[in-house]
Amino acid sequence: MVKSYLAINICPLCNSKRYQPIIRISNSSEKTDSQVTIQKCLRCSNAWTFPSPDYVDYKNEDFHQQSISVSSQLDIKTISDLPEEWQKSLKMQVSLIKRYLQPRAKILEIGCGEGILLSELAYLGFIVEGIEPSFNASLRAKNKGLKITNSLFPDYFPEQKFDLVILSHVLEHIQNPSRFLRTVSQLIPNGYLLLIQTNYQGLIPRLRTKDWYAWVPNEHYWHFTPFGLTFLVNKLNFRLIKCEYSSLVHTGKKNKLLQIIAKTIPQYLDQFHILFKLNN
């Protein structure tokens, strides 16, 4: 278990003893109101929440409806129904996929939400499938005509192989990401892995510190960087292909100004899309 790792003062992802606390934030939920520390590894650069989160019943969660990014949107059907920053991020992901995959390539998204990205990819001619633990989100995805399995992965493990697996804001919820990715790799022999993650070293997390909404300490075990994820997946025989940066959704004049500043140095944005190729 991850908690046993955290108790012995080493980085749970690379076993380094060189780490430091970077922020202390509130971990409020319906059950508790406590403080947690985000610890940063000085070797692999990834960070983790200490103490780690309790179990979350993702079958009864509905992140697209609850997300601060969605705001008052109640009926999300296409990319155009999303906030501007989210639209741009998804369009970047689609463009990246088109650059490296041929039409009719088989794509699996694990944690696909209500299938907005998969719908765009299906429209472009890709053969898509999704796995989503949330009952309500998976139902809305099915209503879009998508092939969706309402389950956790790998409780449901597809029989076929894919050319690409997408994990968008999933890996930070997984207790053992190395084991999880090793299982994922069985689905993509010589295929691609696309990870979309928050970038805790971005400009807005640095300036907003504990007020950055993407820490989510009651659910996120991990907080990644592009270098840290590359460090992690290299051990699994993945090779870095491309890394691009985008922004999470922020509102208000102050945050708009921060976005303008951050866009001059893309790696200071607070989200990244990183594509790997599995070499078997």
Residue 215 belongs to domain with CATH number: 3.40.50.150
Could you tell me the pTM of the whole model? 0.92
Element (H, E) at 233: helix 226-234
Total tally of structural domains belonging to the chain? 1
Asked, for residue 76, whether it belongs to a domain, the answer is yes
Query: Which tokens is 247 given?
Result: 């922004």
Domain region containing 86: 56-278
Q: Pairing relation of β-strands 222-223 and 271-278?
A: unpaired
Residue 136: phi and psi, rounded to 5, are -65, -45
Asked, for residue 11, whether it belongs to a domain, the answer is no
Asked, for residue 1, whether it belongs to a domain, the answer is no
Asked, for residue 28, whether it belongs to a domain, the answer is no
Query: Which tokens is 266 given?
Result: 């893309």
Handedness of CA 92, 229, 268, 83 (dihedral sign): positive
Asked, for residue 247, whether it belongs to a domain, the answer is yes
Asked, for residue 5, whether it belongs to a domain, the answer is no
Tens digits of pLDDT across the chain (280 residues) = 444 445 458 999 999 999 999 999 988 665 556 899 999 999 999 999 999 999 888 887 776 665 534 444 556 667 888 888 999 999 999 999 999 999 999 999 999 999 999 999 999 999 999 999 999 999 999 999 999 999 999 999 999 999 999 999 999 999 999 999 999 999 999 999 999 999 999 999 998 999 999 999 999 999 999 999 999 999 999 999 999 999 999 877 667 777 787 778 999 999 999 999 998 7
Q: How far apart are CA 130 and CA 150, in angstroms?
A: 9
